[in-house]
Amino acid sequence: MREYAIALWGSWPPNLNVRNSIDGCKIIVDDGHDIGCVTVEKHSDHLWLDELFIVPAFQRRGIGSKILWSVIADAEGLEIPLRLSVLVTNPALDFYLRHGFRIHQETAERRYLVR
């Protein structure tokens, strides 16, 4: 995420709210290797996909899609929308659009998506 923050703000802001623990984060394992994490928060009217990170060496193998489809299924099972945001500089936007998300709000820094 650092490169997207630098592209947006010109530097890595010292006050950037960075997670200090892995509470609630599920580690993604592939062939015995920790390769990412996913964090989903349940709210009364939606699920919030807070993080979905895959180590770059393991990207473009369908792993992120498999995890995302699982989270989508959870939201559909609860009959509530799945929401998330991405920085405007983050190319992951295309990944989410391919999985049926749509942009419902934009700011100068973020795009907010819903499915």
pLDDT digits (tens, 9 = 90+) for 68-104: 999 999 999 999 999 999 998 888 999 999 999 999 9
Tokens read off for 41:
């928060």
Domain total for the chain? 1
Domain CATH number, residue 91: 3.40.630.30
Give per-residue pLDDT as tens, 2-31: 566 666 666 666 665 555 556 788 999 999
- Sequence-separated (6 or more) residues with CB below 8 Å from residue 49: 38, 39, 40, 68, 71, 82, 83, 84
CA 22 to chain centre: 15
Q: pTM for the full model? A: 0.82
d(CA 29, CA 26): 9
3-state secondary structure of 7: helix
Residue 3 falls inside a structural domain: no
The answer to whether residue 95 sits within a structural domain is yes
- Average pLDDT of the segment spanning 38-52: 96
Q: Is 33 helix (H, G, I), strand (E, B) or coil?
A: strand
**What is the domain extent for residue 108?**
20-114
